[in-house]
Amino acid sequence: MQFFRIIFSLAVVSMLATACGDAYKSTKSGLVYKIIPGSKKGKQVKAGTVVKFHVVVMQKDSVTYNSFGKIPAFAYVDSTPRNYDISEVLPLLNIGDSAVIVQSVDTIAKLQGGQMPAGLKKGDKIKILLRVLDAYDNIPIAQLMYNKENELQKERDIKEVEAYLNSKKIRTIKTPAGAFVAISRQGEGALPDTGKQVSLKYTGFNFNGDKFDSNVDPAFGHTDTFKIVIGQMGSIPGFEEGVKQIAKGGKAKIYIPSMLGYGMQGAAPKIKPYEHLIFEVEMLDIQDVEKLAPTKKEKE
C-alpha cells in the first residue's frame, strides 16, 4: 500500500515500545494480537458502529502503509467479524487503545485457496499496528467525518505541490480543483469543455522523475493515441482538470496532488499511495463526440 519513504511517528514508536514484553493472545480463527491500553479508557468499540483508527502495516520488516499524518481508516464493525481479519480485534478495543496484530502469510494463502499475497512468500509475516481514534454510532456522521478527512488531505497535498513548484520556480496555472498546469507551448482555438473528445500524447512521472506510463515511449507497450471525453471521468480528476487548460496543438506539464490522482490506494506497483504525479501532455485534437447511430425505436 504506502511504499514511499516513511519516518515513524512518535506515536508508532510508542506503540511498538509499549507492546514489547506483553503476551500475545489469539482470536478464534488463530489471529495473533496484543492490546496496548490507552492512557484514558474511552468507550468500547461495538458492533454497529463505525470506528476511526490510524494504521501501520509492515511486511518483512518494511513499512508498506502508514496512515499517521494522512487519512485515518474508517471501518464498519460488523456483528460477525471476518475470519483472520482485524475485524476480530476491533470490538475488543476501547477508544484510545492500540493493538499489534500479526498475520501469517501461510494462513492467508490457505484461506485464499492457496493464493499467496503479492510480493510475499511462505513463512512471511504481516504486522499491523493500529490506534483507535473514535467510534460513531451514526453512520451519516461517520461519512461526514470521512469526507472532512479527505478534504483536509487534499489541502495538505495542494500545499505540498505548491511548495515543490515554488522551490523549483515553476510557473503554473492552478485549476479550480487544485491541479497545476505549466504551459510550454500555446495551442490554438478554444479550450476543451464538457462533452468534447480530446486526443492526447502523454508521459507520466512521479516527483522523483521516475517514468511510470507513456503512450509515447514504446517501452510501455502502447503507443496509440489516448482519447477521453471531458466530463465522463475517463481519467483521474487531476489529469482531466489539467487537460482542460490546453488548446489544440498545445503542450504542458500537469502537476497533480495525490488526492486528485490515485489517492490513498495508489496504483501498484508503480504508483504509491499518496504519490503526487506529473504528466507531460500534448493536445493533438479536440473534437465533438461522434453521435451514435439512432436505434430503431428512436427512428420511430
Catalytic residues: 202, 212-213, 236, 262, 279
Given CA atoms 14, 19, 20, 21 in this order, what sign does their dihedral have?
Answer: positive
Residue 71, judged by CB atoms within 10 A of its CB (0-12, 13-18, 19+), counts as buried
- The HSE-up count of residue 13 (CA atoms within 13 Å, CB side) is 5
- As a whole number of angstroms, the distance between CA 144 and CA 155 comes to 17
